[in-house]
């Protein structure tokens, strides 16, 4: 494999992972639970460390669907994504952090800043979430 091919492959993978995160925020904006769930692998998970949605053992599409339905109806969040760091680990695995501010959908009042720490996996030619860990900062 040439250096140019490797650099191009890494650039494309990073961009695909960034698109995955943007699609997640877009689906939250649109209250599109099925799209959100589909961005995770079948046994994917989310762990919310603190805040109003803190919950343990949210794993798999069925639990993710229930979690996001409840969370979106409870908080009605609108994420505004900011920085996103992606680290490619080995073939088909990556990790990353993204920084988001959450605002309420009714009046866009500030809810919190959130740091997501993610693990990603490549399934066929698509990147998916393996795990998201959300930590709310400076809850308003």
Spell out the domains of the chain, with CATH numbers in brackets.
3-137 (3.10.450.50)
**Edge-first strand listing for the sheet containing 126-137:** 55-59, 40-48, 126-137, 110-123, 93-104, 77-90
pLDDT over 80 at 119, yes or no: yes
Query: 71 has which bridge partners?
Result: none
Q: What is the CA radius of gyration of the chain?
A: 15
Structure tokens of 46? 């989310």
pLDDT over 90 at 53, yes or no: no
Mean residue pLDDT of the chain comes to 94
The stretch 130-134 carries a mean pLDDT of 97
Tally helices (H) and strands (E) across the chain.
Answer: 3, 6
pLDDT at position 140, please? Answer: 65
Indicate the pLDDT class of residue 76, thresholds 50, 70 and 90: confident
pLDDT over 70 at 40, yes or no: yes
pLDDT at position 1, please? Answer: 65
């Amino acid at each position: 494999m040439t250096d140019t091919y490797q650099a191009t492959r890494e650039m494309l993978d990073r961009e695909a992972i960034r698109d995955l995160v943007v699609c997640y925020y877009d689906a939250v904006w649109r209250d599109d639970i099925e799209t959100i769930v589909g961005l995770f692998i079948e046994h994917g998970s989310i762990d919310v460390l603190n805040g109003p949605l803190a919950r343990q053992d949210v794993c798999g599409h069925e639990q993710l669907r229930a979690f996001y339905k409840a969370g979106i109806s409870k908080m009605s969040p609108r994420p505004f994504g900011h920085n996103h760091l992606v680290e490619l680990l080995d073939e088909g695995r990556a990790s990353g952090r993204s920084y988001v501010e959450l605002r309420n959908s009714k009046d866009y009042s500030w809810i919190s800043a959130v740091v997501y720490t993610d693990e990603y996996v490549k399934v066929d030619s698509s990147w998916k979430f393996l795990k998201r860990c959300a930590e709310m900062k400076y809850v308003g």
